[in-house]
């Protein structure tokens, strides 16, 4: 019996969240691992200290000349200051097709306080053909240059849009134009940062 359209939307939304969660584990997996009782090593803390999930539509998502739709964008921030804007592509040929715009020293704009800017220095590219660790594909890393801009505030749980543009060393271009559907973002703090200035590194 075919699923009703409303149930299809729910199923697709849940599938998107599962893929994004898988990337979180992929990015933070080594640091999330804990020592076993037989190990003499101390328990390791996770590196990711905050992540946010934003729902909406991609008016543009281009990967090396190919256009894709998407429904959600995730933001990850690590204790060491690296941040990622991560997109799960709606690719009918690859349910593990994920890209992330990654960079350091993200900051709020001094001109517009509701604008967050992240200089991009690498792209993380994931697909079903990538090698797996503990069943999770490990993304390839491509040195790149570009920038992401987010309009909105995590504190208010509202994000209006995210735009990213980057080019890797091989000349491949990546572009994202994402518009929120107005749903409050899902925000999770995994760790409390030890620095007083960390809040300025968050959108």
pLDDT tens figures, 123-167: 999 878 888 877 777 888 999 999 999 999 888 899 999 999 999
Spell out the residues 6+ positions from residue 106 whose beta carbon is closer than 8 angstroms to its own.
77, 81, 83, 116, 117, 118, 119, 201, 202, 203
pTM of the model: 0.76
pLDDT digits (tens, 9 = 90+) for 82-116: 999 999 888 888 777 889 999 998 988 877 878 99
Task: Supply φ then ψ for residue 178, to 5 degrees.
Answer: -120, 135
Distance between CA atoms of residues 41 and 28, nearest Å:
18
Mean pLDDT of the chain: 77
In 3D, which of 187, 133, 167, 155 has the Cα closest to residue 62? Answer: 167
Domain boundaries in the chain?
A: 5-32+46-191
């Amino acid at each position: 019996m075919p699923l009703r359209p409303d149930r299809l939307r729910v199923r697709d939304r849940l599938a998107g969240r599962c893929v994004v969660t898988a990337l979180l584990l992929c990015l933070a997996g080594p640091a999330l691992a804990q020592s076993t009782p037989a190990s003499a090593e101390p328990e390791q803390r996770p590196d990711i200290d905050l992540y946010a999930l934003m729902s909406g539509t991609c008016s543009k998502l281009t990967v090396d000349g190919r256009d894709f739709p998407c429904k959600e964008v995730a933001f990850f921030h690590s204790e060491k200051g690296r941040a990622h804007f991560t997109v799960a592509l709606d690719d009918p040929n690859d349910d593990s097709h994920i890209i992330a715009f990654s960079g350091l020293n993200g900051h709020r704009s001094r001109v517009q306080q509701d604008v967050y800017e992240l200089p991009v220095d690498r792209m993380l590219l994931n697909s079903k053909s990538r090698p797996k660790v503990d069943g999770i594909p490990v993304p390839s890393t491509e040195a790149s240059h570009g920038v992401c801009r987010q309009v909105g505030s995590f504190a208010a749980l509202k994000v209006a849009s995210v735009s990213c543009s980057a080019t890797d060393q091989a000349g491949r271009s990546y572009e994202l134009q994402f518009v929120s559907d107005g749903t409050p973002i899902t925000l999770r703090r995994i760790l409390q940062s030890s620095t007083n200035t960390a809040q300025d590194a968050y959108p």
